[in-house]
Chain A
Amino acid sequence: MDIMSILFPVIVLGIMAVIFGLILGFAGIKFKVEQDERVSLVRECLPGANCGGCGFAGCDALAAAIVDGSAPVNGCPVGGAAVAAKVGEIMGVAAEAGAKKTAFVKCSGDCESAKDKYVYFGAQDCGLENALAGGAKACAFGCLGDGNCVKACAFDAIHVVNGVAVVDKDKCVACGACIKACPKALIELVPYDSKVRVACSSHDMPKPTKDNCAKGCMGCKLCEKNCPNEAVKVDNFLAKVDYDKCTQCGACTEKCPTKAINANH
């Protein structure tokens, strides 16, 4: 057997491989995309759940945004201060500790307190129920309790208890998925350590609010008058707490006749 019949293919394939290798190597230099090495470092610090809570498409997108400066180092609401500190180390800036937040459902109209205007037999979906005359609750602003927020939560932090969604603030990472899922826009992010919160969203006049729900905010302004720091404002028959001014003194909660504003959180 001619040794060349073995050597020849080896040489030809070898030459082909070298040519392709050279082309790829050349292309690697020619088409090199300048990627900041910090992007991958930052990406490794992020939780990697791709929840989108930061407002970017995912952890990769946030990492790129942090490195090019369009997002703050504490841009990840899920990772909180721990991740912000690590990212800050990579970026060479001291992490401004973002105040930890938690989601909060601004409704306390549970099965006992809130009246129904009809009996809903449809599918368990807030959007569907909401489409039927704003849902079964007499109060047009109340939580429907079908649990779209529960389905949206990736962290098992929100549950429907006695007809109203309740956030478990120790599990909540403030990613905002439930906020987007709620057709009534009942959920908002509040400071994690805040105690005084308004658990009502009703902008109805005092009389219908009182008729519809035993726990509704009627807009009586007792909280506003009793607040020493002007932190509570009643606007359109609904109290709102300004957490920059609130000192958690609880003066408003003592005076509230329906306990719509309370310190049970």
Chain B
Amino acid sequence: MSLFTIFLAAIFVNNFIFSKFMGICPFLGVSKKLDTAAGMGVAVIFVMTLASAATWVVYNLVLVPLGLSYLYNIAFILIIASLVQFVEMFIKKSSPSLYQALGVYLPLITTNCAVLGVAVLNMNNEYNFIQSLVNGVGAAFGFAMAITLFAGIRERLEDAPIPKALTGFPIAMISAGLMSIAFLGFSGML
């Protein structure tokens, strides 16, 4: 598979939210306002890229040679958690303005299954380093796109005349379901 195909497939066909149903918690939790959703999206792009690189290195250069590849879940969680911590400290020191923008969302991503998911997928698909990176970036862009689109819809839902029983989360769930169906249209494209 060419890198471009992997990238597009990760964004549209295998969109983490709409076809793999990973990372639903931040998707529903942080999508009330467009700018916070965009902030979350950027933070996820940042973390997922780094995480897919770091997990690839540890898996292929440490776990596999030692015959411990079955430990990948624990190892990946360990890597992602410490990586996010490290990145947070680094940003806090080097760029306070970026820290202000991402601040709240970085720790949220630590325990996000989408980040773990991309690492596990890279491993299952036996991607090489570059392919893993591209897959990670693509999946993150897909997440960012989904959450920003959804936030735009939810901002409009605020003003829409919705039956009382469906206001708030129910209508958000229904919209998310409809978006997921729409994204089904991409399946089989690549």
Residues of A bordering B, CB below 8 Å:
8-9, 12-13, 16-17, 20-21, 23-24, 27-28, 30-33
Contacts and interface: CB of A to CB of B under 8 A. Distances in A.
13 contacts: A9-B71, A13-B75, A13-B78, A21-B82, A23-B86, A24-B82, A24-B86, A24-B89, A27-B86, A27-B90, A31-B90, A32-B93, A33-B93
B189 interface: no
Contact of A9 (B68, B79, B82): B68
Contacts of A16: 58, 62, 75, 78
A9 B67 CA distance: 9
Given A23-B82, A23-B86, A32-B93, 9 more contacts: A13-B71, A13-B74, A13-B75, A16-B78, A24-B86, A28-B89, A30-B93, A31-B89, A33-B93
A142 B27 CA distance: 46
A8 B92 CA distance: 37
B79 A20 contact: yes
A32 B74 CA distance: 28
B66 interface: yes
Interface residues of B, number: 18
B128 interface: no
Interface of B: 58, 62, 66, 68, 71, 74-75, 78-79, 82, 85-86, 89-90, 92-94, 96
Contact of A12 (B68, B82, B86): B68
A37 B85 CA distance: 21
Contact of A33 (B58, B71, B75, B92): B92
Contacts of A13: 71, 74-75, 78
Contacts of A24: 82, 85-86, 89
B116 to A, nearest CB: 16
B69 to A, nearest CB: 11
A17 B75 CA distance: 9
Nearest to B90: A31
Contacts of B58: 16
Given A17-B78, A20-B78, A24-B86, A31 B92 contact: yes
Contacts of B86: 23-24, 27
A8 B68 contact: yes
A33 B79 CA distance: 23
Contacts of A8: 66, 68
Closest 8 A/B residue pairs (Cβ): A31-B93, A20-B82, A31-B89, A27-B89, A33-B92, A27-B86, A9-B68, A24-B85
Nearest to A61: B100
A33 B96 CA distance: 10
Nearest to B96: A33
A198 to B, nearest CB: 39
Contacts of B90: 27, 31
A9 B66 CA distance: 9
